[in-house]
Chains A and B, each alone.
Chain A
């Protein structure tokens, strides 16, 4: 053991030091921090517990369990890979934001008490919001602000739950919750599932991930949702409602991914689908299911990063990311294509890659617990996954009709990073015990059985055949699919639709109250005084000279209040 301190400090130290270094060595020094963190995490033995005295409480800033350790390993590893991918990027703001963000994720993972958890949670929100703003496109400000406000809202719910929990139990320690234990548990669940992008609280992910920077999106695809999954797995294991919501979420993501036109938005919806598997695993709650959740999170981070990196290369070299505008790139980008396909094979569950040895654990655990319908639905979601990520996206991006675009040369570090990720995807696929050793519970599951191979092969081959027959209808379409963020983005349309019954009436009724108000208020805030006086939308901005109230008004108000309070107290 080298030393004993929370890994988050390494990342945050990096965030402080990096701006002080010369521009050209910064991207390389960046890599040192996740690397050091990985070494630290690997060396900390399970059961390490670091506590700090604070106010009346004892903060457990670092608790190493088997579950937190495996998440800590993958978060550090992906930091190295994403850092390699970003070696060409020199902007210090993004580098610092990424280090803050990564540190926040490690802080959440190893937290043993709610205060540490919350600190990490908020830092993650800020770091990731910066990565959206840093894109500096015309709409980046609005997207980033929406993202930040949604996450601060989720953070508020989490905080409210934490405060309630501390008040009722007088303890800051993280303890698993029994099903439906208390109002505090439900509020914390709401705050955490927002970060995990559980519908209907998921629209922020599909709205913002494809608008983040090319390099920032890699970090975002790995950290926010998976750290939330970790919290769910450690606190809410066995909550049945999560299983149903997880299965629904897996299918929801599939449908929207099939509809998506922007390749990074497709992958974003795919995240929602795969996290649905993980949440379903948490809901099932058996040791096999939790193992599956951890293994799937681990593998998912690797292959999702690989997929986003591939899509990022396309965006970086062609300037385009819509399926309607792409096509025929294969002849220019063979290596990128095949590296992407390794990621696609992984996620689809091809034998020899890491999806085969991880996703199926959750499906098997559903079967083992006799949740047969859930199992079949999760298999259906796998079919959809292969369809949109392994077939639709690569076919219409690199093959399909030739768009005539000649992409520019991709920086070598991006390819190397993809290679590293592809290597790990294959390594764990071929030698699954390397991963299984790190899982929380003992593993008796064996992925390479004749039955499993047969099942997978038949599924994949015939999905491919069906795709081939329908491939023309799966080309990108130049439309946008409405999602639940509609309720806070289109108030005009709301007034029209209020008399039309919708399928998701229940979800919208809740969110209307919460999400419509900020947009409406923003218009009022341009000139609140005018709104209050005339009760109409303000016509002009607030002007300090024109809107200064005459002296009589505050004096009258003061007198009025004094008189009222005096009268109230006299009688």
Chain B
């Protein structure tokens, strides 16, 4: 990930924040929170990674030859 890629992402995010504010279109109460989906994406992703890893390590991971023993 070169620096220029990060800059492009930052620009896109800024544009989306502006667009979200200016359009005023919303279907649910949470749409009005600025950057809601950005936060949801970020937090949600981390949540999924953490929970899946926990589920794997604590509950379901086994050796690959588990059923052949």
Contacts and interface: CB of A to CB of B under 8 A. Distances in A.
A259 B61 contact: yes
A571 to B, nearest CB: 55
A450 B53 CA distance: 35
Nearest to B21: A454
Contacts of B20: 451, 454, 458
B46 A458 contact: no
Nearest to A392: B49
Nearest to A480: B64
B62 interface: yes
Contacts, number: 136
Interface in A500-528: 503
Contacts of B27: 367-368, 451
Q: Is the interface of B mostly helix, strand, loop or mixed?
A: helix
B44 A473 contact: no
Contacts of B1: 468
Contacts of B35: 458
B60 A259 contact: yes
Contact of A479 (B38, B45, B63): B63
A467 interface: yes
B62 to A, nearest CB: 6
Interface string B29-49: 001000111111111111111
A471 to B, nearest CB: 10
20 contacts: A255-B51, A258-B52, A259-B61, A383-B44, A383-B45, A387-B49, A449-B25, A453-B16, A454-B37, A457-B13, A458-B16, A458-B35, A459-B41, A463-B45, A464-B9, A479-B61, A480-B62, A481-B56, A481-B60, A503-B59
Contact of A383 (B26, B48, B55): B48
Interface of B: 1, 9, 12-13, 16-17, 19-20, 23, 25-28, 31, 35-49, 51-53, 55-56, 59-64, 66-67
Contact of A454 (B19, B41, B59): B19
A384 B45 CA distance: 7
Contacts of A466: 41-43, 45-46, 49
Interface in A252-295: 254-255, 258-259
A503 B59 CA distance: 10
B40 A258 contact: no
A192 to B, nearest CB: 27
A170 B57 CA distance: 53
Interface of A: 254-255, 258-259, 367-368, 372, 375, 379-380, 383-384, 387, 449-451, 453-468, 470, 473-474, 477-483, 489-490, 503
Q: Is the interface of A mostly helix, strand, loop or mixed?
A: helix
A27 to B, nearest CB: 35
A465 B49 CA distance: 13
Q: From A255, A379, A489, name the one whose CB has the most chain B CB atoms within 10 angstroms.
A: A255
B57 to A, nearest CB: 9
B48 to A, nearest CB: 5
B19 A470 contact: no
The 8 A-B residue pairs with the shortest CB-CB distance, nearest first, are A466-B45, A462-B41, A458-B37, A258-B52, A462-B42, A458-B38, A479-B61, A459-B41
Given A259-B56, A482-B62, A489 B41 contact: no
A449 B64 CA distance: 47
Contact of A459 (B37, B61, B62): B37
B40 A379 contact: yes
A272 B9 CA distance: 31
Q: From B26, B27, B44, B66, name the one whose CB has the most chain A CB atoms within 10 angstroms.
A: B44
Nearest to B69: A492
Contacts of A482: 59-62, 66
A479 B40 contact: no
Contact of B67 (A254, A449, A458, A489): A489
B49 A259 contact: no
Nearest to A372: B28
Given A384-B45, A465-B42, A479-B56, 8 more contacts: A255-B55, A451-B27, A458-B16, A461-B16, A462-B41, A463-B41, A480-B62, A483-B60
A367 B55 CA distance: 29
A489 B26 CA distance: 50
Contacts of A387: 45, 48-49
B40 A459 contact: yes
Contacts of A449: 25
A384 B47 CA distance: 10
Given A258-B48, A258-B52, A461 B9 contact: yes
Contacts of B52: 254-255, 258-259
B52 to A, nearest CB: 4
Given A259-B56, A384-B48, A461-B38, A367 B12 contact: no
A477 B62 CA distance: 11
Given A259-B56, A458-B38, A479-B61, A450 B19 contact: yes
A367 B28 CA distance: 8
A450 B23 contact: yes
Given A453-B19, A481-B60, A473 B49 contact: yes
Contacts of A380: 40, 44, 47-48
A451 to B, nearest CB: 5
Contact of A455 (B12, B37, B67): B37
B65 to A, nearest CB: 8
Nearest to A450: B23
A482 to B, nearest CB: 4
A544 B1 CA distance: 70
